[in-house]
Structure 1
């Protein structure tokens, strides 16, 4: 077992409580309830990928650093750190006297040392681990060779130069490296304890150790329950449970009934509750532009796109704002605010009606036979589709029909390319800008458009990081929108509603992050 450096048991206990949580009893502290789609099943931080598992790990474990409610990166288990002038070497000094805690908060003799981080990162790059975090830390020296099984894990660019000193060596500068160290995969793992679990690490309460301010109190089919030793106003317990008996209630009502402390909402209804707005979906017109189709004509698409954008009015429901591009605001690429970096990508179409007349040269009315505007029935955007269709009729004498279909059928037809024009929700799954743009590349493009330059830019972006990756993705977005196969119209708004009196909650819907480490309830 790693030797735990201490003077006396009393000094150890005091140091641990002070460094992680402060003093006081959890019985006097507030609780926080969050509804999850599924109860967490895997608390192995190097493996956790399901949203509920990730949220549990964020609160159960501590890493070197952590993000606070202002988005700042602050020390967690690290006392301090330095970065070399070339940005490729990070040296962390850990806090002294830290240990893991077992279920129900029981103390252990497992000390948290730099070697635990070395072991954790080596696990990430062992092929058999199949860790989702390997791609995030690909800048570490020799990581690709280790992951491919071509080099021993000991050659990975992470080492301990002492019990409390950890060194990362990068093969290339990664401007977002510190932020990535807040991910569950970067949490410490004690090798001796891991080996003792015989393949069940993080899968049961007895084979889980906490390195964070919270410890595992109970884990059943009813939910996951974490506690910590603090007093009011700090949050002392976290409950991750399913909403099994109140499914018909709105987020605001669930919070008012004290069923949960915060909840996601997409109703747009007025509320006095605290809220954090975000968007991962842009409603866009899609023109099926496969070779030989009527909408393979670029000028025709641009003309109809220009008229549509002039016509659209934002619905008064509060659920939508005017789209600033295909990629919504607040999405990030390697920690960089993408929309701010990329700017306005919407093309300027100065005279769409003249453009339409030029496009119609040599085209017959019969070329437009069978063209419909496909809309998902449940979306509530049929009136918007009618506005656009009416403008095309008025300005271009084009008479298309609107075809409403159930959401499931809509998704199948979109994926199969079985449409001519569609009003579709384009989502950035997991908040990924790359994934959002990838839907329009290659043979599986939603619009059927074959654009070698777009595919090349997208491919090059996958091999870059930081501002270089942002720049390539921004070129992709402009290339896509200039061709008007995709016409962004509305950004769909979602929000997190938070109970009165709660502050300090760290929330990111895309990572996902619901971290109550700094949360208080007054």
Structure 2
């Protein structure tokens, strides 16, 4: 069915009056955490109205532009892509019926399911009226990728899909974005052409950036696509019913309803979703604690939940905490001083008092990152070197002699309060003071102050967390690419090796290249790994099957269930 402009356009207008919005907001908040009796089915956990607090207002609901966790949570529930990743990081078909990959790995041909539909509730009556629903076609995916490579979009995802045919020429201004290697053979057949093989390509297609975009609807939004509720259409499990945000107010929320246009083809369990828009991660934790939110995604260990059978805790060890150094500091710019400090960490004992939140890190890629469906660290074990205080001191003193100095000034390690419990740094600091003879303290700051200090280079040493953008070892190491990290790390060698990760013809080749790149970064010592850390998704025990992506921070409620 063709999208009718005469129906859609009259409703592309500002939100209802403020009084109406406040009324709706209060009504929805009053229903927060409750089930709707006429929709609830006790037997299968369906029909519940889930309520979740977001740490910030989504920056955009445009999949080709959005990068923040709040945006990705909403997008994940609004859209369905060709494939999605299971818990082992293995791509599974979603909106695609099948995929055929050519022998040379350069052509991916998808057969789309013919029962996936867009829905835009133009008259906001929660009923699919004529002209409000139309089929998702291969052209919608073509247009999405053309938008990624359209300079006007300023998409941050061009590098992710640089393997596509003509991508380089388009980025260099030699070709138009319409020449990107994505073509609709028919309404239900889609073909991707690559310039070089990329064993990660299916994983990349599971990202929110690869969600479809309907050209007719996009053009009718006149530059407002994804920026307000009138400029968002859904092709996934839920549709957007209300998006109200006043930066000076407190009753900010997003309200979503089950998208009945697609429920016959694929089940959706919750009836509705309410997202309360907050100002910080601390606010979301407070909401979960007082019962006004059903889910808490956090990096902070929460003993009151972890040690209670009233809660279900899912943990994934996907973050590596390491030490970074101010690039303008002369002493810590010395490679031997940094290497000596790394050697002076007795990793066999650190993290023992963290209740399982932390484990010692000898490498950069954490244990719960997968490659070809298996833990990368099982395929490529990290090298655990024995602690040798004498060797550490010798290396450290060598650096001091190179700088012609006899001692280092006392300093403090900058730590973000929401990142980790600082108590777990004391073992490291105590050992350093004993063997190197200089004082190091801890300076704990808020998340906002932390990022300001990092950006302004207002620190000497800091604890920094590395998490990949998706469940793949390459995405972890890609965080070290020049201009892609926030701690001013830059290395021509690293950049060259990262480029090589993007044209691997097999998972074995990817593993080998990741191993070489990880070792190269470790050798430079500009990032010293100390801990592998958990990310957590916490729910009450009567909730089940809430999807959580610890890499993007997105929550997926398609299969979420609630039992009394």
Would you call these one fold, judging by a TM-score over 0.5? yes
* Distance in 2 between residues matched to 1:409 and 1:94, nearest whole Å: 45
- 1:140, CA displacement in angstroms? 1.6
Partner of residue 360, structure 2? 322
Partner of residue 168, structure 2? 144
Partner of residue 546, structure 2? 505
Counterpart among 476, 484, 487 of residue 433 in structure 1: 476
For the residue of structure 1 that corresponds to 2:477, the secondary structure is helix
* Distance in 2 between residues matched to 1:443 and 1:430, nearest whole Å: 14
For the residue of structure 2 that corresponds to 1:63, the secondary structure is coil
Matched, 1:174 2:217: no
Correspondence 1:218-237 to 2 at 5 A: 218-221=242-245, 222-228=252-258, 229=260, 234-237=269-272
* Distance in 2 between residues matched to 1:355 and 1:245, nearest whole Å: 41
Partner of residue 413, structure 2? 375
- 1:66, CA displacement in angstroms? 2.9
Partner of residue 58, structure 1? 76
Contact 1:255–1:498 under 8 Å retained in 2: no
The alignment's C-alpha RMSD in Å is 4.3
Correspondence 1:434-473 to 2 at 5 A: 434=477, 436-438=479-481, 455-465=492-502, 466=504, 467=507, 471-473=512-514
Matched, 1:260 2:294: yes
Partner of residue 218, structure 2? 194
Partner of residue 106, structure 1? 128
- 1:267, CA displacement in angstroms? 3.0
* Distance in 1 between residues matched to 2:281 and 2:322, nearest whole Å: 33
Partner of residue 273, structure 2? 238
- 1:390, CA displacement in angstroms? 4.7
Matched, 1:81 2:99: yes
Contact 1:43–1:202 under 8 Å retained in 2: yes
For the residue of structure 1 that corresponds to 2:203, the secondary structure is helix
TM-score, length basis structure 1: 0.78
Decide whether aligned partners of structure 1 residues 67 and 129 sit closer, same or farther in structure 2, where only a CA change above 3 A counts: same
Partner of residue 534, structure 2? 493
Contact 1:57–1:184 under 8 Å retained in 2: yes
Contact 1:250–1:265 under 8 Å retained in 2: no
Counterpart among 102, 108, 116 of residue 140 in structure 2: 116
- 1:455, CA displacement in angstroms? 3.5
Contact 2:347–2:530 under 8 Å retained in 1: no
**Structure 1 residue runs without a partner (length 5+):** 5-23
**Structure 2 residue runs without a partner (length 5+):** 5-36, 42-46, 246-251
Contact 1:89–1:168 under 8 Å retained in 2: yes
Contact 1:126–1:149 under 8 Å retained in 2: no
* Distance in 2 between residues matched to 1:378 and 1:511, nearest whole Å: 19
Matched, 1:313 2:350: yes
TM-score, length basis structure 2: 0.72
Decide whether aligned partners of structure 1 residues 271 and 2 sit closer, same or farther in structure 2, where only a CA change above 3 A counts: same
- 1:168, CA displacement in angstroms? 1.5
- 1:368, CA displacement in angstroms? 3.3
Contact 1:302–1:352 under 8 Å retained in 2: no
Query: After superposition, what is the alpha-carbon deviation per residue over 1:289-333, rounded to whole angstroms, capped at 9, x for unaligned?
Result: 9897498373x6655544431684325242422224234333468
Partner of residue 67, structure 2? 49
Partner of residue 162, structure 1? 186
Query: After superposition, what is the alpha-carbon deviation per residue over 1:197-253, rounded to whole angstroms, capped at 9, x for unaligned?
Result: 3223333333322111212222222222111146999222222222479956846x7
- 1:73, CA displacement in angstroms? 3.3
Contact 1:82–1:91 under 8 Å retained in 2: yes
